Structure 1
Amino acid sequence: MRAMILAAGRGNRMRPLTDNQPKPLLPIAGKPLLAYHLEKLAQARVNEVVINHAWHGEQIENFVGDGSRWGLQVSFSAEPEGGLETAGGIIKALPLLGDEPFWVINGDIWTDWDYRDLPTQLETEQLAHLIMVKNPAHHPEGDFALENGLLVNDGSERKTFSGIGLYRKELLEPYPQGKQPLKTFFDRAINQSRLAASYWEGHWTDVGTPERLHQLNQQLEK
């Protein structure tokens, strides 16, 4: 199984904490956020991990190395200054991800979910399977509604995309180069009824601001 960790964001909302380091290396309870993902992927028996980066990427490469301390084989996908947005970054890394479905995980989230519970297979018609969570206070409107195991744009019970999912590379056809937002591809798959999802109710945080980082550290250090 292969996985990709998205770590190319500039982290403007986290400034000044991210002025001199990438957001995925910010400490959570004394450990870099990125380390949690690597540990959990190793526990889930992932063999290969791709990490993209654009802001202070050398710090990410120096910290992770070849991944052997976690029992992983890690490679890096360097992006130009400013990054390529989510879909653009995944498309650039596709040669490293192979032809089978792969996990994609946002590097700036924290969760206590066991990655061994992540789906490993997609139905033939499915292009991806996303993990949805309860809408946080800063995003009360959610992203998509979940009905009968599929995501829909219309629906009263909207949930928030966790930043964790299993992807088939065909989701991103025709593989346009450059900056590409992921929502465009999600919307197309939803319109085709090909975007599966499941809902998880555990602890999840989008570590997107200094305030949320501080709150999460307080919660974990109790």
Structure 2
Amino acid sequence: MTRARTAMVLAAGYGARMRPLTDTLPKPLVKLAGRALVDHVLDRLAAAGVETAIVNVHYLPEQVEAHMQERSGRAPKTIISDERDVLLDTGGGAKKALPQLGPGPFFIHNSDSVWAEGAAAALPHMLRQWDATRMDCLLLLAPMSTSLGYHARGDFDMAPDGHLTRRGERQVVPFAFAGVSLCEAKLFDGAPDGPFSLNLLWDQALAKGRLYGLRLDGRWMHVGTPEALAEAEASFEHEGA
């Protein structure tokens, strides 16, 4: 099975939709089932064999840095990527961290993406499916029919072989991006400087037929608002996630 020894954890955003909880607390430190959201992420990465996680900071950075200090000695090792001066968005933040991430493959993981595992643990399943000869990027996708806290029209449709297509303007598609991707540094070849979204690189991979998806075997929880957080909390209590 492919190994991913490093990961990028995107923890720099403002978490505006989670206000008022995020007025004084960065969203990655909001608690779900007694643990900070980012701890759910880091523990899952460690269980998948990730040794080092790069965590970017911008909003209330001292709190995130202090939390990483409290985790000292626990896997994975964490390295702070400082974006205090300029918030670089998902793509720019990952590009800045490429020297620490290495050639890959590596995960890029939203700090608020949580789920209850199904029969196949998601991150090891992504590693088993990874094929650099066919893929520039592999996205974890959640079926909208079983997801909590997500009420939009979906992000992608997926062919039986995993090839992805984006939702059209008036379409409803069955899958939402679940906040985790797997790629290599070459995905960023020719990427712009400064802030930019990973969507830019995904669209380039789509145009080459090299963007793939993997269905999450579990229940994704889109923890975007205080109401969605309460819904996820109830799900954790019910399912023992």
Fold equivalence (TM over 0.5): yes
Verify: 1:126 aligned to 2:135, yes or no.
Answer: yes
Partner of 2:76: 72
Give the Cα separation in 2 of the matches to 1:125 and 1:117: 17
Offset of 1:112 from its aligned partner? Answer: 2.2
Partner of 2:124: 116
Q: Assess, with a 3 A threshold, how the Cα gap between structure 1 residues 153 and 75 changes in structure 2: closer, same or farther.
A: same
Partner deviation per Cα, 1:80-108 (whole Å, 9 max, x = no partner): 35621111111111111011210111101
- On the 8 A contact 2:156/2:165 being kept in 1, the answer is yes
Give the Cα separation in 2 of the matches to 1:29 and 1:193: 39
Offset of 1:191 from its aligned partner? Answer: 1.2
Structure 1: state its 5+ residue gaps: none
Verify: 1:164 aligned to 2:180, yes or no.
Answer: yes
Aligned partner of residue 79 in structure 2, secondary structure: strand
Q: Assess, with a 3 A threshold, how the Cα gap between structure 1 residues 219 and 138 changes in structure 2: closer, same or farther.
A: closer
Offset of 1:74 from its aligned partner? Answer: 1.1
Question: Which stretches of structure 1, 4 residues or more, deviate above 4 A after TM superposition?
Answer: 154-157
- On the 8 A contact 1:38/1:70 being kept in 2, the answer is no
Partner of 2:164: 151
Aligned residues: 222
Offset of 1:116 from its aligned partner? Answer: 3.2
Letter of the 1:45 partner, please give it.
Answer: G
Aligned partner of residue 21 in structure 2, secondary structure: coil
1:190 to 206, 210, 222: 206
Offset of 1:41 from its aligned partner? Answer: 1.3
Q: Assess, with a 3 A threshold, how the Cα gap between structure 1 residues 66 and 21 changes in structure 2: closer, same or farther.
A: closer
- On the 8 A contact 1:88/1:181 being kept in 2, the answer is yes
- On the 8 A contact 1:131/1:197 being kept in 2, the answer is yes
Aligned partner of residue 203 in structure 1, secondary structure: strand
Q: Assess, with a 3 A threshold, how the Cα gap between structure 1 residues 158 and 218 changes in structure 2: closer, same or farther.
A: closer
Give the fraction of aligned pairs with identical amino acids, expressed as a percent. Answer: 34
C-alpha RMSD of matched pairs (Å): 2.0
Aligned partner of residue 87 in structure 1, secondary structure: helix
Give the Cα separation in 1 of the matches to 2:222 and 2:83: 23
